[in-house]
Amino acid sequence: MNQNRTLQKSQIKRIQNICNRRVAILAFICIMAIVLGGCHVQSPLQSDRETKKADEKFVLITNGYVVDTNDSNQILVVSSKETNSSHDASWVSIPTGSPQITLGTQVKVYVKPGTGIDDPYPRNFTADQIEVEPEVKPNGATLSRAQAVSKALEQFEADEYIPIVLQADYDRSNEKWKIKLKTDQLKSQPVWQEVADAV
């Protein structure tokens, strides 16, 4: 009987020793993972601060299609979206080092925070940064969307008014681009301009 108790106690001790070793190894692995992971992972607070700094560097002022250019290195950017019954329009002076910008291109225009911009129509200011939207060229199309919009703008008769690009779709079955345009004239009605998908 005593021998059985002694045997049971030694077995229990051995099991406790094995469990203690496993717990110690597991604890060591967890501590190492935390230490090594901490070397590479930014704290959420640090990441938020860096994002805020990037946001503070430039502010998005407008975005839209380039519908006109002039000899003073300016582009006329008009938003497709209507706000308060009008479309934002801005003559933007292109900063040095900007990517190539052509008629029909979609762009985002940024300035430094606190930049004073008057609100005549259209506005007139110098950008601190211009970002060109990625080129869109559907499968099977010869022209990119920017090229098709450029051709549609050249054909569109806006007279002294500002042209507005509302929509640009590729019709694969007919091999044509369909560009929906209007002017900033109050009674202007949208029209669809068809552009053959050929250079």
Helices and strands, number each (H, E), in the chain: 3, 9
Domain boundaries, the chain: 2-41, 55-132, 145-196
* Side-chain half-sphere exposure of 46, counting CA atoms within 13 A: 5
Q: How confident is the model at residue 36 (pLDDT cuts 50, 70, 90)?
A: low
Give tens-digit pLDDT for 153-172.
Answer: 999 999 999 999 999 999 99
- pLDDT (tens digit per residue) in 37-62: 554 444 445 445 544 444 568 999 99
pLDDT of residue 52: 47
11's tokens: 């077995």
Is residue 77 within 8 Å of 90, Cβ to Cβ?
Answer: yes
Q: State CA 44 to chain mean position distance.
A: 22
Q: Return the CATH class of domain 55-132.
A: mainly beta
Per-residue pLDDT tens over the stretch 173-193: 999 999 999 999 989 999 999
pLDDT at 93: 97
DSSP state, 98?
P
Residue 83 pLDDT grade (very low, low, confident, very high; cuts 50, 70, 90):
confident
